[in-house]
Structure 1
């Protein structure tokens, strides 16, 4: 295969190395950029407009659950995102795919499986760990897909305002953080409520918090320490 630029965002050096080997196995020529936290990843993406694939650790520093996935899709919709994690329970895998990830690679995967996942994604298909049924709960899947579409409709600044609302920031604080007028924040909030089809900022914050695994996944029955 031809030249490609890839970003690997994971705070575990050994797994970054494994992913890099798999990438190089699938391409004749590849440039691999590495990030140890989510903010570093965003900086790399902003400086490299030609990145095509991002490997994103589910629980890396700065990435709270699926907030990183949806932010990347909102800000950089042309980039393919592959989730990676040792937390590979079926409900977590399904949620990642339903929210728009192109693959979910467990950290227990070997080099051959990782390479297969990359090849599958490059063919425009979704790759899942073996024996993972994506169609178990169609209602929940539909809800997650609807949420992903709603978040994708937000402008990048509206997405940032929504995340701030979910973190309990007031309009005046958000205006200060983003260096914009409070009236502009209010306009963003009104647009957010309309696009998310909710009636107030509290409901909007709760919508966003659905992306945060540790607080909102009833099936997530273990405390996650590392991705």
Structure 2
């Protein structure tokens, strides 16, 4: 297998070490990068455009539920994402796949299982632990897939504006934070409402809140 570049984004050093061992088992030659929060992960990606696979901890700093996953897909749609967490209920695993993750690996999995999951993902397959039924809730599946599709249509800046709307920020605050004109923010908001098929910013914020874990 050709050389791969992989990022492990997790705030627990011991688990990052375990994941590194599993990745080394899976790939002949690999560069492994590490991040302990979402912002540092995105810095790594900017500095390493060849990066093709990210392990993303569900509860790491800067990642509120599936916001990190959808942000990755919005900004870097060519990167495969494997979600990892000790919070491994079937519902959460299902949501991860619905929102576009290539796999969900429980933190309790042993190294051989992790290695197998990595190999399947790199072959273009979706991986979940045995016994998880992806068709358990078809209605919810369609809702989540539609939301993921809509979020993917946003530009990276529109995605950031939407996340700030969901945090309750006003246009003036968003303009200040992003160092853009308030009129530009208003244009972004109009485009967001159109792409999400909602009629006001409150509804847009509620759409984004669906990504978070209650």
Instruction: Please report the TM-score for the alignment, with normalisation by the length of structure 2.
Output: 0.99
Give me the whole-angstrom Cα distance separating, in 1, the residues matched to 2:115 and 2:23. Answer: 7
| Paired residue total | 214
1:6 matched residue in structure 2: 6
- The 10-residue stretch of structure 1 (137-146 or 21-30) with the greater mean CA deviation from structure 2: 21-30
* Runs of 4+ with deviation above 4 angstroms: none
Give, in whole Å, the separation in 1 of the partners of 2:50 and 2:97.
23
Tell me, in whole angstroms, the C-alpha distance in 2 between the residues paired with 1:2 and 1:190: 44
State whether structure 2 residue 100 is matched by structure 1 residue 100: yes
Q: CA RMSD in A?
A: 0.5
C-alpha distance in structure 1 between counterparts of 2:206 and 2:12, whole Å: 31
CA distance in 2, matches of 1:195, 1:53: 28
SS in 1 for 2:175: helix
Which residue does 2:75 correspond to in 1? Answer: 75
Name the residue aligned to 2:85.
85
Q: What per-residue deviation string (whole Å, max 9, x for no partner) do you get for residues 167-186 of structure 1? A: 00000000000000000000
Corresponding residue for residue 18 of structure 1: 18
User: How do 1:29-178 and structure 2 match up within 5 A?
Assistant: 29-178=29-178
TM-score scaled by length of structure 1 = 0.93
Please give the secondary structure, in 2, of the residue aligned with 1:213: coil
Per the TM alignment, residue 130 of structure 1 is displaced from its structure 2 partner at its CA by: 1.4
Tell me which residue corresponds to 1:207.
Answer: 207
Equivalent position SS for 1:158: helix
Gaps of 5+ in 2: none
The equivalent of 1:222 in structure 2 is none
